[in-house]
Structure 1
Amino acid sequence: MIRTIAELLSGILREELPKLDKAPVKHAPTIGDMYEGLSFELLNRAIPNGLGLQVVSGFASDGRGNLSGQLDCMVVQGEGEKLPYTNSHIWHVKDIVAVIEVKKRLYSAELRDAFAQLKTVSTIEHAHYQSGDGRVGNSDRSAAPAIRTFAEMTGKIAWSATGEVTFSYEEEAILHVLLLEQLSSIRVILGMHGFKSERTFRSSMVEYLEQNIGKAGFGPADFPQLIISGGNSLVKANGRPFMMSLVDGWWPFYFSTPENPLRLLLEFIWTRLDEMHGFGRDLWGEDLEIEVGRALLGFRAACIDGKGGWEVQVYEADDAALSKVPATEQWSPEFVGMEEFVLLARLCQGEGVSSDNPEIMSWLDSRGITYDDVRNRLLKTRLVASYGKSLELVTKKCQLVILPTGEYVAAENSTGRLDRWILRRIAASGESTSREGGDVTNSPDGQ
């Protein structure tokens, strides 16, 4: 469904945008209103009915008198305050799902302007959610998805009911950002036209960041989740929905892609709405094609002379290197060995897996395999994470399959993605499969 709607919205944009571009109007505010109006139309078509959502313009508020700058589009729920004799509203940050800053053309100057405008939102949001007021009254934004993302990224359970969990300074910083990302609104810069190439778009962002190294307000939580410049996008890998695992302690948190920008916008908004309302399997369609990110920025938390901050790494790539990376690839489950399959089956059945379990250690020893080897291979699947000597599932619904070829596969199947992959494989080859495992009841969030 998401791909179909994205294509529908892209069709509307292709038809309506040339009309705005040719409009014989020179008045800048009116031109801005036209492009914002088109954005309103796209967003109204993008959000599902029956959820009590609206698309408005105006200001974000923290309820204490602090306001953001004037915002082009906000996807909101609940009740806001309409400003007299205007079409603008003031909306509390806890009820804002997404904020979109619209630009007719997004080049370097507009990128800086829009980035600064959205920072007026993140500034009051982050202060609100880190205050006592922000920790209550937000029951529709569970921390569980952020905790699961942290486990997938780091291979470590964030919170456990069985005891205290301690992390390094770097890991604590990442967890803090992921929790803020989960609570805060989705911030998007939407440039209808923009840079001619993905490379020049990337270079503009790097130049902007280099000009602000060492300044407050340029950490991972301050970057918009999505920046669209014509047909290219910069995307945040915060697990909602896109994610990249840590590489030698670095978080490749920002990537570029030429993939359909409106599909990316839907992915961000619908992921949040699915977490809030629960749409079920039908929302995502087949979901067997996934985006491939071209890493742009990596961040790593650092504490120097008692002062915390972020180190930055830029992943350089010229046009030739970017063109070699496909925009999408076909999804497939994790192919695992027999030892990993057996241990995953134990976890799916609610049994423990730990290095101090004599039965497990004896069996692995008889096969000439060390526990550490199997553990490390399992962590790479991102289906499990470690807590002390134990492994725990971090999925909502982990399922295992034995293919006719004798191969073992495992995957998160809460959206039915594994089922669809199997059906496609059967249709292509006439194979049949056997399955193990089932609903997982001991994931970190208890779902």
Structure 2
Amino acid sequence: MVESALLAIQHSWPYWLALVFFAAYPIVTSLMWITTAVLYRLRWEPREPAAADARREWPLVSVLVPAHDERAVIARSVAAMLRMDYPRFEVIVVDDGSSDGTLDALAPLRADARLRLVRKEVNEGKAMALNDAIPLARGEILMCLDADAEPDAQMLRHIVPHFDAPRVAAVTGNPRVRNTETFLARLQAMEFSSIISLLRRAQRIWGRVVTVSGVVAALRRSAVVDVGGFSPEMPTEDIELTWKLQKRFYDVRYEPRAICWMTVPLSWRGLYRQRRRWARGLMQVLHKHADVMRHWRYRRLWPVFVESSLSILWAACFVVLSAIWTASYALGLPPVGASPIPNLWGMTIATICLAQLFTGAWVDRRYDPDIVRFVPYAVWYPLVYWMFQSVTTVLSLSYLFRRPQREAVRWRTAREGAAS
């Protein structure tokens, strides 16, 4: 009975349609990302605004640092922020109901007049912490950094010139992995070069980006106020704000020279929780902003909306097809379209995937020379990471059809790989 059902499924037209999409999507998208990202790197990246000291005046920048239970990392991070080579900035740390003495860890730095500390008694979430900090900020440019972020000394000098263009509302930096001690952390280091950084370059060619990076993003204060600030009910406030800004026709840019070091999860459990939140947040943003596909004036958002939707569909195909093939092998039935020995399309997908990973490392090596050391880990990415990412996406699929909750999304920090 089960065998006949499996055979019927594998000879149906939906199965063959899913099989073709499963094989074609990674090949087409990887080639598109590689070519457009390389084009951006060769033609536009060297022409980004120069970090010249000859500017007559540097505007005041307010660095906003929302924190919740970050005692293990925040002192090192804020010390790095205060060492930034920029003439006019302040650092505002908002302690959002921490129970571990987060602000106490900053006691050695309180003598610096540029540091301001805000204590909130109730945990209301990252978005609310940022919204509460905005009225306290003195600068028109808001530099939002996570509590584990360690910015490069020249970061603000690379980012601030972008805001000379009045339509620019946000500039996202280039997050790099600091704690690369483990296999999982090195896979994530390759991911940030070969997926996230490469994709942001490609999206700049398309004209719109899916999201600024929550760990390092500069914002124009007036633009943030214009769109209603951060959305407390969204689990990924950075994605939501990016879409709100772009729907108001503000420009969002990527500055690869704005390096910021961050801490990534070192356990599969920690990574799972992080990626579930990312997947949930993206799906709720797509649900909330599905109207962009109905209006011509939002046409520049169509590529990122379609690509994000197809990536979710591909993850679902990956999990479903893998389940069918596993069941077939368990029953001794050779599955249709699958083979334990890589065939032509399987080798093609793997080759294109590795080409994308190598391209990402090549593009970012000028900013993070150590990334080249982790290139050998690239072979594990399609074998290990794809399935993990797909499973977390599929487990979050229900959020694609749900409206965001009404109450604020509160956070619960589970920091791993803390600074020593």
Instruction: Check whether TM > 0.5.
Output: no
Higher relative contact order (CA 8 A, sep 6+): 2
- Relative to its length, the structure with more helix (as a share) is 2
**TM-score normalised by L of structure 1:** 0.30
- Relative to its length, the structure with more strand (as a share) is 1
